[in-house]
Amino acid sequence: MSEDAGEKTFAPSAKRKRDAAQKGDVVRSKELTTAVTVLIGAAWLRFAGPWVFGKLAASVRSGFVWDHATIESFSPQQLLLTALIAAMPPVLVLGGGVMVSAVALQLTLGEGRWVPGNLAPKASRLNPLAGLSKVFGTQGWIELGKGLLKLALLGSMLYLWAKPRLTTMVGLGTGTLSAELAMAWDMLTSLAFTMAAGLMAIAMFDVPVQLVRRFMRLRMSRQEMRDEGKESEGSPETKQAQRNRARQLSRGGVQRAMQEAQFLITNPSHFAVALSYDPEKAPAPVVLAKGRGDKALAMRDLAAELGLPTLEIPPLARSVYFTTRENQMIREELYAAVASVLAFVLSLKRGDAPPMPQVDVPQTLRFDAEGKPEDRALLRPAVENRA
């Protein structure tokens, strides 16, 4: 039994995954990041080529335009600065795109979490012994195998790309400068897209592997499952505070209805039904508010504060609760039962001391706490508040 409790055979819970992500333990795929970066670079080369050539051509033309003012105030630094400013916008666009894509990709794999602590320096990363253990350990051999596979795949794709273009590459330099530059740029972008496709294929294999590795790393033992269950339940003080907060919220929702109610029927604390009878508004008693659990307890508290008579009649409380909505008249079959309670309450308000009435709930309208029909004996109510 103890071995079973310590063996990690259970899938990680949502809380364990969330805690691990907060500590920086998320899915990471360098292959996918590299593939996306190369793909963005290839797209930039394809669509930003005219922009780059235009900027560079303008810079070169300005560098070879000589007039009297340029000769008198010749400054190589100014020429270099002009060329740098001309080439800077395309480079910034490329760098910004790569940065944004890398961050967005990692946030997606990391369940939308950004852990600043991962950027903090760690002494363990500078430990040469730890680095050697990674190189010559199991992880090192895995990375070596992945590197060889990547080299073989990318080398094969490079060969297939270059074979039909070999004659064209050898003939570069025999045409006009503009034509040769356009051809070279087209070949460069084609090669970049080819490499991006190969890297993306590797990434599609690497991401599931990383997901499985993280799943295996976060597996839980039986004891860890029990401890997490106890922790999620919370201490008695925490649960009591949660109940108090829920009761306060419930009080705010039913306070107005309780102020208009004439009496409250409970079961004894799981259900509560507040009723009122005004023949000028409705021909039968109306349910002003009803609740169960925390809401029922809040209604009992309000009834005590308002001085409303509170009667514990479980069969009638459950029957009204499950057959009548709020602001709706009670069922006709319950007229007699509620009328006897109402007569008892009115006698209390007149200062009389009437005997406890017997409440007869029809067998077809008797329910248990889950709302299922049940048969129960007649129950004499107990009055909690005669005020």
* Region 76-81 average pLDDT: 69
Question: How many whole angstroms separate alpha carbon 307 and alpha carbon 303?
Answer: 6
The total number of residues shown for the chain amounts to: 387
Q: Judge if 263 and 162 occupy the same domain.
A: no
Contacts of 173 by beta carbon, 8 Å cutoff, 6+ apart: 180
Region of poorest pLDDT, from 1-15, 57-71, 270-284? 57-71
Query: Among 215, 235, 253, which residue terminates a domain?
Result: 215
Question: How many whole angstroms separate alpha carbon 179 and alpha carbon 174?
Answer: 10
* Region 362-366 average pLDDT: 89
Question: How many whole angstroms separate alpha carbon 28 and alpha carbon 107?
Answer: 10
Q: Judge if 94 and 198 occupy the same domain.
A: yes
125 part of a folded domain: no
327 part of a folded domain: yes
Q: Judge if 266 and 363 occupy the same domain.
A: yes
Question: How many whole angstroms separate alpha carbon 366 and alpha carbon 368?
Answer: 7
Question: How many whole angstroms separate alpha carbon 321 and alpha carbon 264?
Answer: 12
Domain of 179, in residue numbers: 18-117+141-215
pLDDT of 196 above 80: yes
For CA atoms 324, 330, 331, 334, the dihedral sign is positive
pLDDT of 264 above 60: yes
Q: Sheet holding 286-292: strands in order across?
A: 328-329, 286-292, 271-276, 263-266, 310-312, 382-383
Q: How far is the first Cα of the chain from the last one, in angstroms, to the nearest whole number?
A: 60
For CA atoms 149, 152, 153, 158, the dihedral sign is positive
Question: How many whole angstroms separate alpha carbon 345 and alpha carbon 262?
Answer: 8
134 part of a folded domain: no
What confidence tens digit (pLDDT) does each residue in 293-337 have? 878 888 888 888 888 899 999 999 999 999 999 999 999 999 999
pLDDT at 27: 80
Q: Judge if 211 and 81 occupy the same domain.
A: yes
pLDDT at 284: 92
Q: Judge if 200 and 344 occupy the same domain.
A: no
Q: Judge if 344 and 255 occupy the same domain.
A: yes
* Region 354-369 average pLDDT: 87
SS3 of residue 115 by DSSP: coil
What confidence tens digit (pLDDT) does each residue in 81-125 have? 766 776 677 777 777 877 887 777 777 776 656 555 555 555 555
On whether the CB atoms of residues 284 and 337 are closer than 8 A, the answer is no
264 part of a folded domain: yes
Q: Judge if 188 and 298 occupy the same domain.
A: no
pLDDT of 1 above 60: no
Question: How many whole angstroms separate alpha carbon 310 and alpha carbon 269?
Answer: 11
On whether the CB atoms of residues 96 and 41 are closer than 8 A, the answer is no
40 part of a folded domain: yes
Q: Judge if 86 and 45 occupy the same domain.
A: yes
Q: Tell me which amino acid residue 319 is.
A: S
42 part of a folded domain: yes
Query: Among 215, 233, 268, which residue terminates a domain?
Result: 215
Q: Judge if 181 and 258 occupy the same domain.
A: no
Q: Judge if 209 and 281 occupy the same domain.
A: no
Number of domains in the chain: 2
Query: Among 215, 235, 263, which residue terminates a domain?
Result: 215
On whether the CB atoms of residues 348 and 326 are closer than 8 A, the answer is no
Q: Judge if 151 and 73 occupy the same domain.
A: yes
111 part of a folded domain: yes
pLDDT at 124: 56
More confident residue, 130 or 107: 107
Q: Judge if 300 and 164 occupy the same domain.
A: no
| CATH number where 250 lies | 3.40.1690.10
124 part of a folded domain: no
Phi and psi angles of residue 154, each rounded to the nearest 5 degrees, phi first? -65, -35
